[in-house]
Chain A
Amino acid sequence: MAIEVGGKTYETDEEGYLVNLADWTEELGGEIAKSENVEMSPNHWEVVNFLREYYNEYQIAPAVRVLTKAIGKKLGADKGNSKYLYELFPYGPAKQACKIAGLPKPTGCV
């Protein structure tokens, strides 16, 4: 599979996750979000940017409690919980937000 942005084609896996993490741009992330029916607000981008920062350091997306804690610090304590993250990313923050951030899908019993 592939996704097209600005006349360029980027390879994705069967589920639409980017194959080459280095391909990612904000524009591409926005395009993936559209295909997921997620309308990106500044708060969505906060989550996506944090995922990418964390991934750069640890080669894995953050655990849900690491993520909620970080988002709580950035956006206010009332938003540092997974209920809020599900509001932003209805299919589940781990999988859907990772997809938009151009990161691999978390595997295992999650």
Chain B
Amino acid sequence: MAAPDVLAPALKQYPVIPILQRGAMAASKPYAASDKMNEALGFPGKLVDDWQAKAIGKMGELLGKYRSFKVYLDACVHCGACTDKCHYFLGTGDPKNMPVARQDLVRKVYRRYFTLAGKVFPKLVGAEDLTESVLDDWYKYFNQCSECRRCSVYCPYGIDTAEITMAAKEIMDSIGMGQKYTNEIIGKVHKLGNNLGLPGPALRNTLETMEEEVKEDTGLDVRFPVDEQGAEVLVVVPSADFFAEPHVYSLIGYAKVFHAAGIRWTFSSHASEAGNFGLFIGNYEQMRKIAVRVREAALELGVKRIVVGECGHAWRVAYSFWNTLIGPFDWLDARYPVPQHICELTYDLIRRGAIQFDREKNDHRVVTFHDSCNVARGSGMGGIPGGQFILPREIIRAACNHFHDMAPETIRQHTFCCGGGGGLLTDELLDLRVKGALPRMEALKQVVDAYGVNFMAAICAICKAQFSKVLPYYKFDMEMIGGVHQLVGDAIRLGRND
């Protein structure tokens, strides 16, 4: 494979702040999007001639549009609380991966062109021109931030550092410096309705195969319906759930839950994707366009509820932004959360006794739970404080006998990113991804050693794909990662409602 050299750092017994290695990741950058991919999203195909003026103009536009962006650029006092909170810094030692240093790549340009002191005495206030080398740093180091917002949790000023990364990406897109992985995928959603580029007939063929498989396994007609008019629930999932392992086991889990509870549900071939990479590139219009497909599908099918599957950033977009993007939802059933997470649906059924488990079916597993960043720090669940941490764990406990949490400073709102979020889940960044997974791997190692944990559950397709790939670099089995609804699917009692 023409993959880059990939080097996994050694797992330490306890986390240590690395010795600085200047420029350690200066060669890391993702492939550029082709002209065609950029233009399909309305961006310039390649770097425009007057890129400097255009970029500064775009920055000005964003400063005017998003008050938060300006506040975050002004508020930082360089206290350093964030420096050792980033998994990419901890895994690489590159000082530009300290969140404050990464933000300063934008902040110094902001100072130069938008503050009086920076215009008059640039050197005194750390202001710098937007030169080619600064732009080059932007492309490299904003593509080494997964927008996980762990550093924001520790910032005394509450600076949402991900918003700065998103702004930088939006500026770069506006001058023709799009990134291939994200922009190619967004183009596919606009065209075919999902990140994979799975056309309708392939989706139907895949779901028929799933029905056959589950029938062979259980003897039951568990359905995987698509485009079914009059269903009560529209389910939107990351398209990886149709395609990849271990994702597909959660898909089977969802279907079994609906089967056991007797709820009429459907996928949509028009909106066959929960993910929304518009968020990753900070582009409101792309985000809206992707979200609109879900609204169109729901109205077309006449559903009363919309349920989101195991996808971290999809849930953040749905929970935090759908109402503005595609609301109001007065046409949906107000007795249920709008939108509803699959964990909320399953948890509710468990509490009402509508589904039951044979927990011993998961007895070969000792389970831990990896909180995915966009769920942990960007959303809620169940209408209770911390519900996004409580519900998935309660579901696991209902379906499994053996559960152990990882160290408290690595879970819940303090959770470490898997290392592949924010539009970085691409092969040419594998070295970065492996290194960025280090803090999570160290926390995992502790519970593996202490309790014999052999399964890490997550509710995010990126986390699942990322861990499948990087676990072997740390001498763990790639099958250790799976979904919460994989555990549900393996232990749920079926046999009713046929």
Give Cα A35–Cα B196 distance, bound, in whole angstroms.
Answer: 26
Query: What DSSP secondary structure best describes chain B's contact surface?
Result: helix
Among A15, A16, A58, A63, the one with the most B-chain Cβ atoms within 10 Å of its Cβ is: A63
Q: Which residues of A contact B465 (CB under 8 A)?
A: 109-110
Give the residue of A59, A92, A106 whose beta carbon is less than 8 angstroms from that of B243. Answer: A106
Give the residue of B196, B201, B245, B248 whose beta carbon is less than 8 angstroms from that of A108. Answer: B196
Q: A14-B31, A91-B1 are in contact. Are A108 and B199 (CB under 8 A)?
A: no
Asked if B229 is an interface residue, CB under 8 A from chain A, the answer is: no
Asked if B406 is an interface residue, CB under 8 A from chain A, the answer is: no
How far in angstroms is the closest Cβ of chain A from B155? 28
- Please tell me if the beta carbons of A109 and B210 are within 8 angstroms of each other in the complex: no
Q: Which of B67-75, B180-188, B293-301, B377-385 contacts A (4 or more CB under 8 A)?
A: B180-188
Give Cα A35–Cα B194 distance, bound, in whole angstroms.
Answer: 31
Asked if B202 is an interface residue, CB under 8 A from chain A, the answer is: yes
Among B248, B427, B469, the one with the most A-chain Cβ atoms within 10 Å of its Cβ is: B427
Give Cα A53–Cα B205 distance, bound, in whole angstroms.
Answer: 14
- Please tell me if the beta carbons of A64 and B244 are within 8 angstroms of each other in the complex: yes
How far in angstroms is the closest Cβ of chain A from B28? 15
Q: Which residues of A contact B213 (CB under 8 A)?
A: 65, 69
Q: Which residues of B contact A47 (CB under 8 A)?
A: none
Give Cα A62–Cα B198 distance, bound, in whole angstroms.
Answer: 9
- Please tell me if the beta carbons of A96 and B31 are within 8 angstroms of each other in the complex: no
Q: A107-B184, A109-B464 are in contact. Are A60 and B1 (CB under 8 A)?
A: no
Asked if B110 is an interface residue, CB under 8 A from chain A, the answer is: no
- Please tell me if the beta carbons of A109 and B198 are within 8 angstroms of each other in the complex: no
- Please tell me if the beta carbons of A108 and B194 are within 8 angstroms of each other in the complex: yes
Asked if B206 is an interface residue, CB under 8 A from chain A, the answer is: yes
Closest chain B residue, CB of each to CB of A99? B1
Q: Which residues of B contact A58 (CB under 8 A)?
A: 199, 201-202, 205
Among B205, B245, B275, B311, the one with the most A-chain Cβ atoms within 10 Å of its Cβ is: B245
| Residues of chain B at interface, number, CB under 8 A | 41
How far in angstroms is the closest Cβ of chain B from A97? 12
- Please tell me if the beta carbons of B205 and A107 are within 8 angstroms of each other in the complex: no
- Please tell me if the beta carbons of B2 and A109 are within 8 angstroms of each other in the complex: no
Among B205, B248, B428, B461, the one with the most A-chain Cβ atoms within 10 Å of its Cβ is: B205
Q: A35-B2, A69-B213 are in contact. Are A107 and B242 (CB under 8 A)?
A: no
Q: Which residues of A contact B311 (CB under 8 A)?
A: 109
Closest chain A residue, CB of each to CB of B314? A109
**Interface positions of B (Cβ within 8 A of A):** 1-3, 31, 181, 184-185, 188, 194-199, 201-202, 205-206, 209-210, 212-213, 238-240, 242-245, 247-248, 275, 311, 425, 427-428, 461-462, 464-465, 469
What are the 9 closest A-B residue pairs judged by CB atoms, nearest first? Answer: A108-B195, A109-B461, A58-B202, A109-B240, A110-B244, A108-B196, A63-B243, A63-B206, A109-B462
**Interface positions of A (Cβ within 8 A of B):** 14-16, 35-37, 58-60, 62-66, 69, 82, 91-92, 94-96, 106-110
Name 15 A/B residue pairs within 8 A (Cβ), A-sorted: A60-B196, A60-B202, A63-B209, A63-B242, A63-B243, A63-B248, A64-B244, A65-B213, A69-B209, A91-B1, A94-B244, A106-B196, A107-B195, A109-B425, A109-B464
